[in-house]
Chain A
Amino acid sequence: MTETSARQDWIDGISVMLPLIPGVLPFGMIAGVAASEAGLDAWAGIGQSMIVFAGASQIAALQLIADAAPALVVILTGLVINLRFAMYGASLAPHFERRSVWMRALIAHLMTDQSYALSVTRFNMRPEMSKAARLRFYMGNASLMWVVWAAATAAGYFLGNSIPPDWSMDFFVPLSFIALLVPSIRETPMAAAALTGGVVVALAWTLPFNMGLFAAAVCGVAAGYLADRHFSQHRKEPN
């Protein structure tokens, strides 16, 4: 492994995250505004983004703090929203075997929807990537995400939400995920998983604590798995 290709993995990781930043900025700023409105000082307002590092969970917890909810309710709400990260961890784990416990802890802490989606779709498209290259690619995109998230929260805390809503910057989020999803669907079970995930989230989106997203992930995985088994049985039949 030469030094130039190692550097290239980092650059690749950082550059795949760049187009996602316009979608991340407004959410980080909302988290900063919510922190200031909930009465957090600047250390806590920006510190939460570095320590918790999970947008939907932070914003929900801050709204509860602003509503003077009991601490236990704030904590449990913040946690339930992040249940999906356990699934992401199981999905990422085979790519990061045999790392030191500190490296695995760092990989875990930097995990987000964006880094998970960017990394796993890249690893699936390029199975020839070495384990070392996968780690550098992940670290490149995930650490950039962490820096951008903290900076966006700080900007929101001190400056307020200064991006005009007319620009629809938040639309960058679904668009960047469409750009990852569509080319990754190369077989029917993948399409079944995506379709089921989309339908379930639309039916279940009124559930509290982001449970609609979690339910959609579980049902989508089940649908993909069953479709995969169904098709592999069909493939075996002619023999």
Chain B
Amino acid sequence: MDAATIWLCIFAIGAGTFALRFSFIELAGRMALPESMTRALRFLPPAVLSAIIVPAVLRHGPASDLYFGIDNPRLAAAAVAALIAWLTKSVVATLAAGMASLWLIGWIVN
């Protein structure tokens, strides 16, 4: 692909992505969003966070399959992290517990 076409792609994706990001922020700046919509959107953060977490825990690389086995070290490390998150509500403690568990399991298994 030549440089001009590459820049066309970058600007087109950039403009379209901006339109997606801006659409509702702009709309809500002009009119009140329906109450049922704002009520429903309270559930977007848990839905989306969970949907980002699950594939990242169940597979090793961008190309690999999901792996549900109990011997998946990422699954065990994520469970430890979730417990620590629940007990401490601390991001740093959760990251430390999760990474330490993953490295420890990797070290024991190898």
Residues on A facing B (Cβ under 8 Å)? 16, 19, 22, 38-41, 44, 47-48, 51-54, 57-59, 61, 65, 68, 71, 74-75, 78-79, 82-94, 96-99, 101, 104-105, 107-109, 111, 113, 116-117, 120-121, 124, 166, 168, 170-185, 189-198, 200-202, 205, 212-213, 216-217, 219-225, 228
Assembly CA distance A198 to B48 (angstroms): 8
In the docked arrangement, what's the CA distance between A177 and B45, Å? Answer: 10
Q: How many residues of B contact A (CB 8 A)?
A: 69
Closest partner residue, chain A, to B79 (CB atom): A178
A105 touches B22 (CB 8 A): yes
The reply to whether A87 and B99 contact each other, CB–CB distance below 8 Å, is no
Q: How far apart sit A74 and B10, CA to CA, in the bound complex (Å)? A: 9
A219 with B47: CB separation less than 8 A? yes
B49 near A181 with CB under 8 A, answer yes
> Chain A interface secondary structure, helix, strand, loop or mixed?
helix
Question: Are B28 and A94 touching (Cβ within 8 A)?
Answer: yes
Q: With A and B bound together, what is the CA distance between A220 and B89 in angstroms?
A: 23
Contact, CB under 8 Å: B51 / A175: no
1/0 per residue, CB under 8 A from A, across B26-42: the answer is 11110001001111111
Contact A174 B56 (CB under 8 A): yes
* Residue ranges of B at the interface with A (Cβ–Cβ < 8 Å): 1, 3, 5-14, 16-18, 20-29, 33, 36-58, 62, 66, 74, 77-78, 81-82, 85-86, 89-92, 94-95, 98-99, 102-103, 106
User: How far, in Å, is A72 (CB) from chain B's closest CB?
Assistant: 9
| CB < 8 Å neighbour of A91 from B12, B44, B66, B92 | B44
A contact residues around B16 at 8 Å (CB)? 75, 78-79, 82
A178/B53 in contact, CB under 8 A: yes
Asked if A93 and B28 sit within 8 Å, CB to CB, the answer is: yes
CB-CB nearest in chain A for B7: A44
Smallest beta-carbon distance A223→chain B, Å = 7
| Choice from A82, A111, A113, A175 contacting B81 with Cβ under 8 Å | A175
One of A83, A104, A173, A200 near B25 (C-beta < 8 A): A104
For B10, the closest partner residue in chain A by CB is: A48
Given A57-B17, A65-B1, A220-B43, decide whether A197 and B51 contact each other with a Cβ distance below 8 A: yes
Closest to B103 in A: A168
User: Do B58 and A202 touch across chains, with their CB atoms under 8 A apart?
Assistant: yes
Q: A48-B13, A174-B74, A183-B85 are in contact. List 4 more A-B contacts (CB 8 A).
A: A94-B33, A109-B22, A171-B77, A177-B52
Q: Is the CB of A179 within 8 A of B18?
A: no
Among residues of A, the one whose C-beta sits closest to the C-beta of B5 is: A71
A41 contact set on B, CB distance < 8 A: 3
Instruction: A224 to B50: give the CA distance in the assembly, Å.
Output: 13
Q: Assuming the A-B contacts A109-B21, A176-B91, are A87 and B41 also in contact, with contact meaning beta carbons closer than 8 angstroms in the complex?
A: yes
Q: Is the CB of B52 within 8 A of A174?
A: yes
CB pairs A–B below 8 angstroms (24 shown):
A39-B6, A75-B13, A82-B17, A86-B20, A87-B41, A88-B48, A89-B25, A90-B28, A166-B106, A168-B99, A168-B106, A173-B56, A174-B57, A176-B95, A177-B52, A189-B43, A194-B46, A195-B50, A202-B55, A212-B51, A216-B51, A221-B47, A224-B43, A228-B43
